[in-house]
């Protein structure tokens, strides 16, 4: 009996395969390819994870002003995690940078700035894969809730993110 209890405790205490995989992954950069609707977690220029994404409702072109429904393009940082937003979980992107602000000032518009990678909208009950089949955000990058959990387990604050056209 003691042997069975010891065996059961050993199994319950062992990390799951998914946890072991997360523990063995390091991420030094996030790359988003808007044209392919993919987000890549990178380590030393090698893809370690790939996610299908949804973008802003007007995905072609760089974000210029608040409300244009475009996802920015360029190099930014993932600067802080938000657990209490209108979306499941999110991590903020440091848009706008100095170039974005200068361009917006030149055009006499506000560049916006509430750009994040986030999960599903709170209260949504749609199939999580369904939301990845079209662009629906106001300029953010959307993942499923499960993928958002994985991303936040792997990506640290300050990680660079490059968003390609």
Count of Cβ atoms closer than 10 Å to residue 126 Cβ: 9
Q: Which residue has the tokens 């994404």?
A: 53
Comparing 66-80, 101-115, 127-141, 148-162, which segment has the lowest mean pLDDT? 127-141
Structural domain of residue 140, as residue ranges? 27-164
- Predicted TM-score (pTM) of this structure: 0.82
Number of domains in the chain: 1
Q: Which of 62, 92, 110, 140 is catalytic?
A: 140
Comparing 43-52, 64-73, 131-140, which segment has the lowest mean pLDDT?
Answer: 131-140
Residue 110 lies in a domain: yes
For the chain, helix (H) and strand (E) counts, in that order, are 4, 8
| Total residue length of the chain | 165
pLDDT at residue 74 greater than cutoff 80: yes
- Sequence-ordered list of residues with C-beta below 8 angstroms from that of 148, at least 6 positions apart, any chain: 88, 89, 90, 117, 118, 119
| DSSP-assigned letter for residue 96 | -
Q: How far, in Å, CA of 40 to CA of 81, rounded?
A: 18
Is 92 part of the annotated catalytic residue set?
A: no
Which of 77, 74, 78 minimizes the C-alpha distance to 102? Answer: 74
Tens of pLDDT, residue by residue over 109-119, are: 999 999 999 99
Residue 104 lies in a domain: yes
| Catalytic residue flag (residue 118) | yes
The CATH number covering residue 141 comes to: 2.40.440.10
């Amino acid at each position: 009996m003691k042997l069975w209890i010891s065996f059961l405790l050993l199994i319950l205490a062992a990390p799951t395969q998914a946890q072991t995989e997360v523990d063995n992954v390091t991420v030094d950069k996030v790359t988003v390819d808007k044209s392919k609707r993919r987000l890549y977690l990178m380590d030393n220029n090698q893809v370690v994870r790939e996610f299908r994404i949804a973008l802003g409702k007007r995905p072609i072109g760089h974000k210029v002003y608040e409300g244009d429904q475009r996802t920015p393009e360029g190099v930014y940082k993932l600067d802080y995690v938000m657990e209490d937003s209108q979306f499941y979980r999110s991590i903020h992107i440091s848009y706008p940078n100095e170039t974005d602000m200068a361009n917006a000032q030149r055009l006499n518009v506000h560049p916006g700035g509430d750009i994040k990678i986030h999960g599903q909208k709170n209260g949504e009950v749609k199939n999580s894969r369904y939301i990845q089949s079209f662009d629906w955000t106001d300029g953010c990058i959307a993942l499923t809730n499960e993928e958002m959990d994985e991303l936040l387990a792997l990506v640290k604050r300050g990680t660079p993110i490059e968003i390609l056209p």
